[in-house]
Chains A and B, each alone.
Chain A
Amino acid sequence: MPAVALTVNGKPVTGDVDPRTLLVQFLRENLRLTGTHVGCDTSQCGACVVHVDGKAVKACTVFVWQIDGANITTIEGLADPNGPLHPMQEAFREHHGLQCGYCTPGMIMTAVDMVNRKGHDLDDPTIAISAAAPATITS
């Protein structure tokens, strides 16, 4: 059983895992961080997106041992639990940017990644394209 050590939402965590353990399983089942959801489980929808070393990654398509040593941020780590929401969470809340809410954690992590990558180059057409295809944000 491979031993893994990660930093998740700023805290060091370790575990001995079956090699088949996906990052999303490790987060949900070992760490009980159930904010990250499994949607399609076929690497398409993006409900399971978390940040691995600052980049959006589908947690259902990475074995946890592949990213041993990485720094992970999940939806739980975006804002201080006792403080205000992260501005992206607040924007989704303000504009009712959700339907049933199941994929919202992945959408928010994807949107934060988009801002991180594009910064001030993030324009209305890019946002509009993403809004038209919410299941898979493509830009």
Chain B
Amino acid sequence: MYAFTQHRPATVRQAASLLAKQEEAKLLAGGHTLIPTMKLRLAGPKHLVDLSKVEGLSGIEMKGRSLTIGAMTTHVEVQTSPVVRENIPALAELAGKIGDPAVRHRGTIGGSLANNDPNADYPAAALGLGATIITNKRRIPADEFFKGLFETALEPDEIVTKVQFPKVNKAAYVKFPNPASRYALVGVFVSKRSSEIRVVVTGAGANGVFRVTAFEEALKKRFGAKSLEGLTVPADGMASDIHGSAEYRAHLIGVLARRAVAAAG
């Protein structure tokens, strides 16, 4: 691992100023992607700005029809939160399927979204529920947040502080996990909020998380697994690696989407 200097700011403002001031600075949340990446020398930040001492970045709150989760809230906190379980149970279930218990004790929602790993689970929930990512500067709709592999709309000194999820009528997430890492080989998140239907895929796209508009259109006529029968996603644009070919991933999208719609009820 390359040498670095650690910083432990107490406020978002201090953290943002460190990010802006220091060359090659990176934020450290739960560290469960960044630390392994640094060990492999795939990342070599000169400065690590740790967010664990920053006040007000954790917590879960339901206000009206909107669920707000602080960026430093851990996966296990989302998984076990009675508020999340009552209002958006699919989100609690998704959080409980990330990695393993030790990973869920450290990993955070803000870290996962800002990293935008193409096989991560949270990007599917954020896009699949039409969430809003709140930063120290602005509010970014999930539709404009994810920009490709490990790329987001975040500016260099921008910090995710909260994520806001609207309550939906129906939602479910089904994933085919890599048996070792538990990352999604393919994961499909579906949701229905009045007339808005979203079908979102993680793990499969060569360019990260994406919506399947053809499936969404079919579900608008009738929200049921039958509406998706015979519909497929072309293998073009799918990721292909030792874990699964593009064709296999495309096939899984159809299977998992039907299961997710059935699970959402």
A residues bordering B, Cβ < 8 Å? Answer: 2, 18-20, 22, 41-44, 46, 49, 52, 55-58, 61-63, 65-66, 110, 113-114, 117, 133, 135-139
Q: Which of the candidate stretches B60-68, B177-185, B194-202 sits at the interface with the other chain?
A: B177-185
Choose among A22, A49, A52, A66 the residue that contacts B50 (Cβ–Cβ < 8 A).
Answer: A66
Nearest A residue (CB) for B8: A65
Q: Is the CB of A61 within 8 A of B100?
A: no
Chain B hits for A49, CB < 8 A = 102
Chain B hits for A135, CB < 8 A = 180
The reply to whether the CB of B153 lies closer than 8 angstroms to some CB of chain A is: no
Pairs across A and B, CB under 8 Å, 6 listed: A58-B106, A61-B35, A66-B28, A66-B31, A66-B52, A117-B101
Q: Write the nearest CB–CB distance from A138 to chain B, whole angstroms.
A: 5
CA distance A65 to B106 in the complex (A): 15
Inter-chain contact count A-B, CB under 8 Å?
69
CA distance A58 to B180 in the complex (A): 16
Q: Write the nearest CB–CB distance from B99 to chain A, whole angstroms.
A: 8
Q: Write the nearest CB–CB distance from B238 to chain A, whole angstroms.
A: 25
CA distance A113 to B102 in the complex (A): 9
Q: Write the nearest CB–CB distance from B45 to chain A, whole angstroms.
A: 11
Q: Is the CB of A41 within 8 A of B39?
A: yes
> How many residues of B are in contact with the other chain, CB < 8 A?
26
The reply to whether the CB of B150 lies closer than 8 angstroms to some CB of chain A is: no
Q: Is the CB of A19 within 8 A of B48?
A: yes
A19-B48, A63-B6, A66-B50 known; A56-B105 Cβ under 8 A = yes
Chain B hits for A41, CB < 8 A = 39
Q: Write the nearest CB–CB distance from A14 to chain B, whole angstroms.
A: 17
Chain A hits for B179, CB < 8 A = 133
Chain A hits for B1, CB < 8 A = 20
Chain B hits for A117, CB < 8 A = 101
Q: Is the CB of B100 within 8 A of A57?
A: no
Nearest B residue (CB) for A48: B102
Most buried by B among A43, A46, A114: A43
CA distance A19 to B3 in the complex (A): 8
The reply to whether the CB of B234 lies closer than 8 angstroms to some CB of chain A is: no
The reply to whether the CB of B265 lies closer than 8 angstroms to some CB of chain A is: no
Interface residues of B in 172-194 (CB under 8 A from A): 179-182
Nearest B residue (CB) for A58: B102
CA distance A55 to B76 in the complex (A): 11
Q: Is the CB of A43 within 8 A of B180?
A: no
A110-B102, A138-B182 known; A43-B50 Cβ under 8 A = no
